[in-house]
Structure 1
Amino acid sequence: MRILIANDDGYLAPGLAALVKACEGLGQIDVIAPEQNASGTSNSLTLSRPLSVFTAANGHRYVNGTPSDCVHLALTGVLDYRPDLVVSGINNGANMGDDTLYSGTVAAATEGYLFGIPSIAFSQVEKGWGELDAAAAVARELIQQVIAGGLGQPFLLSVNIPNRADALALPRRITRLGRRHASEALIEQRNPRGEPIYWIGPAGDAREAGEGTDFHATANGMVSITPLQVDLTDHAGASYWRQRLLGQPA
């Protein structure tokens, strides 16, 4: 078993170290992670400048780019083999609902999935790395389960784990993505020269968090496991647009 590990919090993040430790003994491990925190970079690839790959004292490699860059470089030449599994995380905070579209943690796993490799993104619900060892134990058990079941067709899973000491004993649910309200207003400040600068406002509250969603599961003390796909096509709305724009029957 050959496992590629990435993240978006950077190669020095506690969550990455915990995930690496969780994977020890499961197979050959390679780590390629961003040099700096790259949260919120989504699936972006760096195309306007060359990228460099460095090796840390512990043997892990890191890239001066995005999480997607890390996995993309790994799979297109940095590694001399094709991994059997890509895992990403453990993220410092949740990746649920609309947040998955922005998440660098999910993006790293998605890049593996786009290359046809089974991939899993792991996140803790709350920031701060509380009860990280317990989250890592959940990650290890889930990885063991998917390996034992066979890694045939590629899949993409986003796992959100409550920050609890008993996380390994919590029930698990297969969930769907909830929805958030729009983000709160931007934050305007002034730089030392008196010019306006802006910060993206905090994420909005959950808007759709009913039973079956990732928000509902974690709020009720469960580990949320959401199968994802990359097909953004609105299949249900295709007939409407066929009629409206092409004059064809619905």
Structure 2
Amino acid sequence: MADTGAPRAPRILISNDDGIQAPGIGVLEEIARQLSDDVWVVAPEVEQSGASHSLTIHRPLRLRQLDPQRFAVDGTPTDSVLLAINHVMKDRRPDLVLSGVNGGSNIGEDVTYSGTIAAAMEATLLGVRAVALSQHLAGRPPDWSTALRWGPEVVRRLLTASWSRNVLMNVNFPAVGPDEVSGIQVVRHGKRKIGDDLHERVDPRGRAYFWIGTLRGEEDVRQDTDVGVVLNGGISVTPLQLDLTHYPTLEPLGELFR
């Protein structure tokens, strides 16, 4: 067949932290298939919300093939992306990793706990561009229609951009209908003050145990933050960097040790 000169569709890897059977990963597959016909799914066997960037190193991992390009891993989001890129897809690595769509936003401090963000982080560390996508809930069941409508456009625009190798993109959809979205804004990482929502209970043997609650308190709703944009009906896009060094402190701190 003659070369048409058309650009090759990207090879896309999908993962998440809600598990291989989560509705959000099905939504993300629909989004990805509007961008490419070469879509792979490698995700945790069960929900791993709050797993952050954890890696399983004290037990073996099992990889279960469900379909020709669909696999489940009995580990974390990080494990899933690591196995996908370095084993399942080792003969031809993905061009893009999409993580999500998470059932719940990942804004403010959420990003430090999020397995959705962690899957994108692992891809970034392995040299693959990555986008994390999440759906804000606002205390009600998720309405995936906004992500379905706007997700392909957001990812298409991001694919036309270039960004540093140590950067991933964090996208959050608001809890409004697709026709109510106020726009797409590129904004900084905001703040949601973590509360103390601990629930102490007693098991049938008389021993105390605890549930960690929603951990939500005071929120920064300024419009130049991801928190403010999403809570006011917009789609937020935030570049996150893996280099956690606080450079303004680096030089003066170094002076103390000369």
TM over 0.5: same fold? yes
Query: Structure 1 residues 14, 83: closer, same or farther in 2, change over 3 A?
Result: same
Q: Hey, what's the Cα distance between the residues in 1 that align with 2:223 and 2:180?
A: 22
Match of 2:114 in 1: 103
CA distance in 2: counterparts of 1:159 and 1:49, whole angstroms? 33
Deviation at 1:37, TM superposition (A): 0.6
What does the per-residue CA deviation read over 1:101-135, in whole Å, with 9 as the maximum and x for residues that have no partner?
A: 10000110111111111100000111655320221
- 1:63 & 1:159 partners in 2: Cα distance? 25
**1:202 deviation in Å?**
2.4
Secondary structure of the residue aligned to 2:248 is: coil
* Deviation sequence 1:155-174 (CA, Å, 0-9, x none): 41111101222258531111
Give the total of aligned pairs: 245
Does the aligned pair in 2 maintain the 1:161–1:167 contact within 8 Å? no
Match of 2:39 among 7, 24, 29: 29
Cα 1:43/1:167, change in 2 over 3 Å: farther
The percent of aligned pairs where both chains have the same amino acid is 37
What residue in structure 2 maps to residue 221 of structure 1?
A: 233
Contact 1:135 1:161 in 2 (8 A): yes
Within 5 Å, which residues of 2 pair with 1:86-235? Answer: 86-126=97-137, 129-147=141-159, 149=160, 153-154=164-165, 155-166=167-178, 169-235=181-247
Residue aligned with 2:245, SS: coil
Partner of 1:4: 13
Deviations 1:42-62 (A, max 9, x none): 000100001011122685211
Instruction: Tell me, yes or no, if the aligned pair for 2:220 and 2:228 is still in contact at 8 Å.
Output: no
Letter in 1 for 2:18: D
Structure 2: runs of 5 or more not aligned: 1-9
**Per the alignment, in what secondary structure is the counterpart of residue 75 of structure 1?**
helix
The answer to whether the 8 A contact 2:219-2:227 is kept is no
For residue 77 of structure 1, what is the aligned residue in structure 2? Answer: 87
Q: Distance in 1 between matches of 2:140 and 2:18?
A: 12
SS at match of 1:237: helix
Unaligned residue ranges in structure 1 (runs of 5+): none
- Which residue is 1:17 aligned to? 26
